[in-house]
Amino acid sequence: MVQAYWQLLKDWKDVKGRIRRDRFWEAFVCNMFIVILLVMLSTSVGGIMPYVQMGYQIVTAVPFITAAIRRLHDTDKSGWLMLLMFVPFFGWVALAYILCAASNPEGNQYGANPYEPNYYHL
């Protein structure tokens, strides 16, 4: 899980290609764990912690947006669908549904299949 998180942060500027569903969601869960921990520290400790939390979320926003674009590419969708995040509720639900969708098992216009040979995925 942590390995997927670090890899996602390393590929922060890459919007081309594809990312596997499990890698994306492992990194997302790891990030949410860190955010929840920072929020708890911000509310209990105070001081500079709210600024640390806000800084962390700003710094990790771009890597997660580019990873979501690569995840959309993996489902053979355009990265422009990320604009759905600006549509309250219905856009968020639709985007979450697409990000949870199964990958295109073959290569597509965005690149080769990111799964290893004989890797089973739904």
Between vectors from CA 86 to CA 80 and to CA 92, what angle results, nearest 5°? 90
pTM (2 d.p.) = 0.84
Task: Produce one character per residue of 56-95: b if its CB has 16 or more CB atoms within 10 Å, e if not.
Answer: eeeebeebbebbbbbbbbbbebebebbebeeeeeeeeeeb
> In this predicted model, what pLDDT tens digit does every residue of 40-71 receive, in sequence order?
998 888 788 899 999 999 999 999 999 999 99
pLDDT value at residue 91 = 94
Between vectors from CA 75 to CA 90 and to CA 98, what angle results, nearest 5°? 15
Residue type for 15, please?
V
Distance, in Å, from the CA atom of 95 to the CA atom of 117, rounded to the nearest integer, reads: 28
pLDDT band at 106 (very low <50, low <70, confident <90, very high): confident
